[in-house]
Structure 1
């Protein structure tokens, strides 16, 4: 039993905190308790905390503005990186154009059979090497690009001194050129939305220029494939004529070059169309105004006639190489000029974007610095409005607290604003005025306190007596309940014994009786005795005692169901539907399961029309358990009542006593069902049928089934 708890004032510690240096008690207040400890640790000043608060506010302002400054700094870093990348891209594209010209010259040289008088220009190779050295010397050049630049000399050497064909040399050069053009794609991917639209347009234009140059080189190489002449007699005129012939290898090489030229031309046209779809109107107008003129028209005609098929026709084989070279090169140069102009414009736009980011960063830093100064000034001024009245209040309250005679001291004088400090001063003065009155009331309150403590102790003693009586009554009630339970068990066992003897006598009479009418009467008596046996077993279930008469071996499920049907009054209304074949129930649970089903069948026949059958069916679940269903076509029950019953089935407490029929009770039959189901781990649930009536579902677990 818990001891009575008494609310008390804080204990006296035997010492008192001196506020003004004199630890004497107030006159007229004997036994005044020591003041409660105020504050922890060493003494500090409010001024220091206010200074710390000003510093925290300043740090908060700086922290609030820091993300903006950091974001502006990040934008500046990104824009500066874009400017650097744009410059590298222009240098790489210039090198790519020079390398493309060298590629086309080498491709034509190899296709023509490596003639000694038409060797590639060393001046062009020197220019390419110089541009490679300049780009490699740039410290911002990526390591991947440096590796590609180092491989250009090897590509040239393999093309001129190796055994590669013209198409193979063209492809080797194109691989190096493609790596240079990747900078344009990287620049397009890194372009922010604030830089304007058409970020990928220049990358598409760069692809178009690259493929246009490739188509030019491949066509010129195909036209430069050498041929031989021979004299033949014209069968019509009979005169000798000169005809051109190509070897099978030359023909195969020329067809491969012309097919590659056609593919390059298609890729160039597709990239140019993508450029027109994504580029701003100004960029498209700049390109159209640059790439125009009769030379461009002539080049378009050459491309249309020479790349309309994968191979060149007989008439196209003798196209003038010089004129085609001039027209196609003029078109490529104009496209490169338009591309260079657009990249110059983009570089200027990125430089302007970087300058704007610099200005934005400077403005944000200036605003943050000004705001920080204003914040510190305002916070310092506000702190001074707190420290001055606080000093007056501190000195005045210490004087009153340390006074020997509070009445002899003057109240605290305060001439500041009428704010919270003025309110505290008024409160201190009011406390000072009430100190004497409170001292007089202390003695009276102490006497009252002692009286209340005595009364509380009496009430605690009375409560202990009541608790002892309650425990005695509870023990007596438990003894009575145990006696009644024993009586129930004794009576039920006697009744069961008599019923069993009665059934034995009736069965003997049935065996020897030949008259059908008397035999029918004996069958009815047998059935009534069986029902009486089930009711007697209900008494054992109510008393919490198990009937220990078990079957020795496993029992077929159909026999369990039939036994349940035989134990109800209206057994003729029960119809057994399909049951799982070869299903057996363990002997120790067969009688209880039959009893459980009998109670459900009794309820189903009692609460359904007398002319409607009650159906019992069962099936084997995928989990290996057996589900039995008792279905009637009665009036059913309310949904809330069914929910409460299912909850009682699921959470049945075997220690709970039997409750009578009602809204919350289970009733005798369902109480017996709940006890038997809990005893063997059987799950029972009531369900509402769509066609009317109620279905009681019983799930028999693995532990009760015998394979």
Structure 2
């Protein structure tokens, strides 16, 4: 190759890894500098993840609080569901208590009638009527007891422990009704004992009724339950008074006898408890509840019934009762009226409790549903806003990244390539802005990147203009140098024609050879500048002649052996470039191989099209990576810079090959060294059908020495052996020196510059 360039010790055709634009194949985006960072550090998170975290934290807090509120509402709904079930149970309990009170009254009447009046102790046939009344009472009681037992049995572990205990105690008390009935009707236990046993069963049911409001946080419901408890207690106390008064009647139930031991005490105790319950009711009940109570118990009948009871108690205390006095009978009937009135009040209040508990349960369910929907709405809104805000940031960032990568990988390199190919002439300097039109920081970054893009294009334009100026200098210098070299070659030719001394003629041939190499170096400057050579051929030239011309332009031409298939010619427009390309490859092969080894150039046609030339030496080898870089540079001629000027041969070969579609590949030789494969396409070659039209300027061995010996003016006979080798070498070197029969002249600028 040219002076100052060649294959370094580690490879052929210059150092493929040398610095400079295009000196190595692209290896993708540059790797980020290694940093010792935590992979999951917050600063390494993607923007979308940070935005998601920013929204998730407060949203999660709100959702957690909402879930707590929903859970509280659900718990309240469940609690009020239990309260409603308990209220239903309370309604059934009041019905059962009322049935038990009626059953107790009829049982005491049956006991009071005795055996003489078809009561207890009389044959069953005689007491059939009274027993039928009791059987009817039993059926009514059992029906209510079955409902209460079923509802009480459903009170499980979700209810408070006290409620569970009271429910089990109530069930046990209900189960004991059979034994109580049998003892009351079949044995002679006193009527007061029967009254007290029924009272204990009823008190157990009332204790379970007191648990209705358990688990409720509603004060109004709890107050209503307490009011119902007072009413139920008053009703039970009045019912006990009725039973005690009935037990004091004569068997015919018309008059009264003296109270048995303990009856008067029990009567007074019931009276005292009733008064206490009335006082508590007055303190606890609301105005509406008191109005309902007064409306039921403030009638004339109720007042008369209460007066009759008080009169009977007074007579019993004074001991003035008689079998003919109907006061006790009237008092017993008045108590029955009071019990019925209190039952009406009790039912009204119990219906209110059931309604309140149902409303509270519905309100709790509605609150839980509303709060649940609210949480879902908040979550949905947070999701929508997160997506909207995230897209408003990630979408511009994505477009910014895409635009930046497109600028860095496509648009800017393409602009630089266009400027490099045409010295920046005709390439627009305006840049298309990145598709981010927001006015936030992301938009500011996009505009800043657009400014960087403009500055890069401006610098590329300046560099292209500077490169154009340098290329113009190359062209001018090359034209001047070519003109001088051509004049020098013509002068040397003239001297050679008239020189008879073989030694001086050999020196002139060496000077001619050096001038030829100088001309090739000058032509290299034109290739660097992107200009074509001024020498042109209009007719095809035999491939053998082209190879001879290429070999004649290297220093160690005598080492080259040609083995070319005949009949191949190079088209005229490609002759000079092919000669130049092959001379560079041949010079590289001879320069970087031992001087005592041959360099072989062979060529033949390919069945697939084109011709393949093989330039093989036995010199320094290249490793695989270096050869891959060199082959890449042969396919991708780099931009001219200082590194290219130091490795001019590879650049020149790549540029010349690109002009005519020629492919050059390097590969290891089978015998060691390097093989350069040159594929000439069909557009660059043709079949040789005519004689060569080359007009060789000199292709014969020098005859000056022989002529001189014949005329006696040349060297002495003893000098023939001394100059024979020089003559043969010069002859071989002169064979390939040829010029076109009608070569195109050097362009006007070059001639003028010379």
TM-score normalised according to structure 2 size: 0.44
Larger radius of gyration: 2
Structure with higher RCO (Cα < 8 A, 6+ apart): 2
TM-score between both structures, scaled by the size of structure 1 = 0.47
